[in-house]
Amino acid sequence: MTALKEYQRLEAVGVWRERPDCPRQDVVVSLGDATIVVMDMQSRALTHWSIPAVARANPGSLPAIYHPDGDPSETLEIDGDEIVMIEAIEKLRLAIDRSRPKQRRLRWGVLTVVAGCVAAASFLWLPDVLRSHAATVVPPVKRAQIGIALINHVTDRTGAECRDSLGSPALSRLGAKLFDDQPHRKLMILPGGPKKAMHLPGGTILLHKSLVEDFEDPSVLAGFALAESLRATRNDPLAEVLEASSLLAVIRLLTTGAVPDEALQDYADQLMSAPQRPIETARLLELFKEKGIATTPYAQGLGPSRAEAQALIAADPFKATLPPQLMSDGDWISIQGICES
């Protein structure tokens, strides 16, 4: 800081002591640009003090005693006879003190900006972390409960599940055969809805009644069930629910073990309209071959003009041979009539 112009090159007499064990020494105090210079009586400089770093040991008392801020062992006494020098030093110290709050405000401003950036990053990053964590820690029983709750919302939009005394057991036998390695899987036939197949947390696969009423080959129904199970394996169904839910809904799940009903309603609406995730053709072919099911009937159910369907037909693992029998004719007839009761 530059000294006030009216006090530039102001000089006064004082007493300086370098350390408590050193003798007191008469000195000449000179006020210059941003410094106090302490000289002996031959005008030789003994020390320089930066004015912003000067502290007063006895405010309001005389003689005024100054020392470097943080080091009270070195002192400079200026007697009351040198009141002009004392006033000059005090004015400069006061001006410096008034500037320091601005510096503090600047620091607080910088800290506020940094904190805001951190908060913004957390706002963007934390929801994904919580969703991923929730999808990992929710146990199978709770997943099944969420799936059951979702079924109620889905059937509000599609109509109630198709069931009868013959078709339902036959459908269960088909599911057990297709998913002998996934006992949690369950097949359900729905009377309406915009999609031929959907999957829910807990293992339920929802299939449109057109798959049993419009096709004579049960491999079409089985193919859509296998393809949907592959989607559910590739993309965690609960993670899909949480991805579509608010952060508050995710926190509710972690703290109470339940997804809010309104979040499930919103997801059911999204499930009706969201496009199906694509599946790798090579993986589909591998799965169908493993389960002993031809891919051509499934491809025809997709629509034979689609590029995916053409690839499945061309690479059908049972193109030259017959696949094993999928189910008895009686079971298939029972499933075909499941929505008629």
CATH assignment of the domain containing 63 = 2.30.29.30
Q: The pTM is what? A: 0.63
Flag whether pLDDT at 316 surpasses 70. yes
- Segment 318-325 mean pLDDT: 92
Residue-level length of the chain: 341
- Segment 95-120 mean pLDDT: 54
* Residue 44: per-residue pLDDT: 86
191 and 321 housed in the same domain: yes
196 and 80 housed in the same domain: no
pLDDT in tens, 43-80: 888 888 888 888 899 988 899 999 988 888 999 999 98
Q: Is residue 341 part of a domain?
A: no
Q: Is residue 170 part of a domain?
A: yes
> How many domains does the structure of the chain reveal?
2
* Rounded-to-integer distance, Cα 330 and Cα 237, Å: 33
153 and 48 housed in the same domain: no
Indicate the pLDDT class of residue 7, thresholds 50, 70 and 90.
Answer: low
Taking CA atoms, 9 is separated from 13, 95, 329, in Å, by 13, 18, 114
84 and 145 housed in the same domain: no
Taking CA atoms, 179 is separated from 43, 141, 290, 331, in Å, by 101, 19, 11, 17
Note if the bond before 63 is cis, omega within 30 degrees: yes
Q: Are 300 and 309 in contact (CB under 8 A)?
A: yes
Taking CA atoms, 99 is separated from 48, 52, 92, 96, in Å, by 22, 10, 11, 5
* Residue 11: per-residue pLDDT: 87
pLDDT in tens, 157-205: 999 999 999 999 999 999 999 999 998 899 999 999 999 999 999 999 9
83 and 150 housed in the same domain: no
Round the average pLDDT of the chain to a whole number and report it.
86
- Segment 152-159 mean pLDDT: 94
Residue 65 structural domain: 5-91
235 and 312 housed in the same domain: yes
264 and 192 housed in the same domain: yes
Flag whether pLDDT at 102 surpasses 70. no
184 and 319 housed in the same domain: yes
Q: Are 317 and 298 in contact (CB under 8 A)?
A: no
* Rounded-to-integer distance, Cα 39 and Cα 175, Å: 101
* Residue 132: per-residue pLDDT: 80
74 and 160 housed in the same domain: no
The DSSP string of 220-239 is HHHHHHHHHHHHHHHS-HHH
* Residue 268: per-residue pLDDT: 93
201 and 305 housed in the same domain: yes
87 and 155 housed in the same domain: no
Q: Is residue 97 part of a domain?
A: no
192 and 307 housed in the same domain: yes
Flag whether pLDDT at 330 surpasses 50. yes
* Residue 332: per-residue pLDDT: 97
